[in-house]
Amino acid sequence: MIRKICCIGAGYVGTPTMAVIALKCPNIKITVVDSNRSRIDAWNSSNTNDFPVKEPGLDDIIKVVRNKNLFFSSDTEKHIDESEMIFLAVNTPTKKEGKGKGFAADLTNIDQCAKQIAIVSSSNKIIVEKSTLPVRTAERLKEIINKHKQDDVSFEIISNPEFLAEGTAIRDLFKSDRVLIGSDQTDEGLAAMESLVNIYKNWIPRERIIKTNIWSSELSKLASNAMLAQRISSINSLSALTEKTEAKINELSVAVGKDHRIGDKFLNVSPGFGGSCFKKDILNLVYICRQYGLEEVAEYWYQVVKINDYQRKRIFNIINSSLVELKNKRISILGWSFKKDTNDTRESSSIPISSDLIINGASLKIYDPLADKKQIIQDLTTYLESKNLDLKEIKSLLNQVKINNTLSECLSNSNAIIVLTEWDEFKQIDWQNFKLNIVDAVLPHIFDTRNILDIELLKSLEYKVFQIGNGDSNIK
Ligand code: UDX
Ligand code: ADP
């Protein structure tokens, strides 16, 4: 029976997962550690506004379990050594340099953890791969551990990928479609797997716990994310065709999704998928396929990312041509996070679309209910740097950007309004009233890249509207 758990990584995956395990297993003491001390301090703050990850329902759970059986600590070595089970929930971004640059997952954090665990452990441990990892990472971890471990200490590595989505993390953890656990098919491996099954069975029905070999488990995470992203790219690619043919992409999604063999989830048209997982995981999959000489398979999956980039570019081109000239145009950007109900902005489509707008001379007013102002500026800076602009140029472009505290400030006095994240707040804008308050009588063009606005109402109020994939838009 596991009594003490250590989780390395206090981010979007580590903290929600451990909070739910702590709530469901009051007899297990869990300590979440992180090399980023300020993150740990923030999780220990008495003010929930300081928490670094905003996730509906998470604050309430933390209030119940923190300092009872869930702890946040910077004393990593102590808690690794004390624990029987260690979860690895560190980030594995795409490599920025070296072999596999731009595609492979950077496993530096994972390697560091393996080495640290091996060095400091004086008793046997089960290591759980929670982070998304390339298939056969367990082999690599074993090599590192065997090189550094004490002779009389043994380790079992099991894979238990996390399928939670941001914004619904707590709901996903409470009611997972499935919990996947992969292990070596040895007596020791199967015993390690059972000890994790015993934790999950406190709230997950037995039939939803899937047991596989370790490689299937590692690869299933990449495969699931790739197939989800593929659905989005499929519908986004078709949105270009529905615009040309006066069909409506929302009607197409419903019609196609009603076929139970296809299903209706993940068929929402968008300005492209964002988030820390989809692009990174597909690029990683492409890299792995190429490593095994599977060029056609690699190319097939790479197309999913290419369509995502195409969709962003396509939206920029539509805005650009409808406004005729972007120079000196004032544009309101509604939404910066990669989807609603999260403050996470990683890979958000708002970043490339907004950057292209300022590069072409537009001035932006940006509003997001949760995204941090500094993060927005950082996202733009990083993107512009990747376009090889120098610091002086970037500084001057950032002068064209203002970040607003309220939606009404952001909406006022604009030539164009672009909805990029599907926040509920944007669905409730009173367009009639807004029109009455427009001083110079020139209505802004509205670009709804999430199809959340009432296009018929907007058209009846004489707005020029573009809705993605909607053949009825009066901006083409
Ligand atoms: C994803 C997976 O869903 C989750 O299982 C995995 O553990 C991590 O990666 P996440 O990135 O948090 O989760 O969010 P998700 O809801 O999958 O959305 C990803 C992106 O796809 C968002 O930008 C979202 O707006 C977009 N999306 C989603 C669409 O464009 N259309 C859809 O129909 C669904
Ligand atoms: P994810 O979305 O995968 O949870 P995050 O970036 O939100 O990713 O969280 C990962 C966390 O892991 C970060 O807080 C980071 O500081 C932490 N981390 C990365 N490498 C290490 C390491 N070697 N030791 C401890 N913590 C680490």
Show which of 204, 230, 246 is a domain's final residue: 204
Q: Are residues 199 and 285 in the same domain?
A: no
Q: Are residues 302 and 413 in the same domain?
A: yes
273 C-alpha vs ligand 1 centroid, how far in Å?
Answer: 7
Which atom of ligand 1 is found nearest the CA of 167?
12
Q: Output the pLDDT for position 17.
A: 98
Q: Is residue 359 part of a domain?
A: yes
Q: Output the pLDDT for position 306.
A: 98
Residues at CB less than 6 angstroms from ligand 1: 162-166, 225, 228, 232, 266-268, 270, 273-275, 277-278, 338-339
Q: Is residue 386 part of a domain?
A: yes
Q: Output the pLDDT for position 439.
A: 73
Which atom of ligand 2 is found nearest the CA of 36?
16
Q: Is residue 267 part of a domain?
A: no
Q: Are residues 199 and 287 in the same domain?
A: no
- CA-proximal residue: ligand 1, atom 28 (nearest): 266
75 C-alpha vs ligand 2 centroid, how far in Å?
Answer: 15
- CA distances from residue 126 to 185, 282, 373 in whole angstroms, order as listed: 15, 28, 40
Question: pLDDT tens for residues 371-422?
Answer: 999 999 999 999 999 999 999 999 999 999 999 999 999 999 999 999 999 9
Residue type at position 433: N
Q: Are residues 283 and 423 in the same domain?
A: yes
Q: Are residues 190 and 295 in the same domain?
A: no
Q: Is residue 83 part of a domain?
A: yes
| Total number of domains in the chain | 2
Mutate to test the pocket of ligand 1, among 218, 273, 368, 451 (most ligand atoms within 8 A of CB): 273
Q: Are residues 400 and 305 in the same domain?
A: yes
Angle at 302 between CA 358 and CA 343, to 5 degrees: 50
Q: Are residues 196 and 323 in the same domain?
A: no
Q: Are residues 132 and 11 in the same domain?
A: yes
Q: Is residue 221 part of a domain?
A: no
Q: Output the pLDDT for position 442.
A: 86
Q: Which residues of the chain fall below pLDDT 70?
A: none
389 C-alpha vs ligand 1 centroid, how far in Å?
Answer: 30
Active site members: 277
Question: pLDDT tens for residues 4-58?
Answer: 999 999 999 999 999 999 999 999 999 999 999 999 999 999 999 999 998 999 9
245 C-alpha vs ligand 1 centroid, how far in Å?
Answer: 28
| Structural contact between residues 59 and 48, judged by C-beta atoms closer than 8 angstroms | yes
* CATH code of residue 395: 3.40.50.720
Q: Are residues 187 and 91 in the same domain?
A: yes
Q: Are residues 294 and 418 in the same domain?
A: yes
pTM, two decimal places: 0.95
Q: Is residue 373 part of a domain?
A: yes
Q: Are residues 34 and 151 in the same domain?
A: yes
Ordered DSSP codes for 354-390: HHHHHHTT-EEEEE-SSS-HHHHHHHHHHHHHHTT--
CB proximity list for 208: less than 8 A, separation 6 or greater: 176, 177, 178, 179
Show which of 204, 232, 264 is a domain's final residue: 204
Domain of 176, in residue numbers: 4-204
Show which of 174, 204, 234 is a domain's final residue: 204
Nearest ligand to the CA atom of 89: 2
Which atom of ligand 1 is found nearest the CA of 274?
23
Q: Output the pLDDT for position 437.
A: 84
The total of other beta-carbon atoms located within 10 Å of residue 244's CB is 9
Q: Output the pLDDT for position 476.
A: 83
- CA-proximal residue: ligand 2, atom 7 (nearest): 11
Q: Is residue 73 part of a domain?
A: yes
Q: Are residues 162 and 306 in the same domain?
A: no
Q: Is residue 268 part of a domain?
A: no
CB proximity list for 27: less than 8 A, separation 6 or greater: 3, 69
| Structural contact between residues 179 and 160, judged by C-beta atoms closer than 8 angstroms | yes
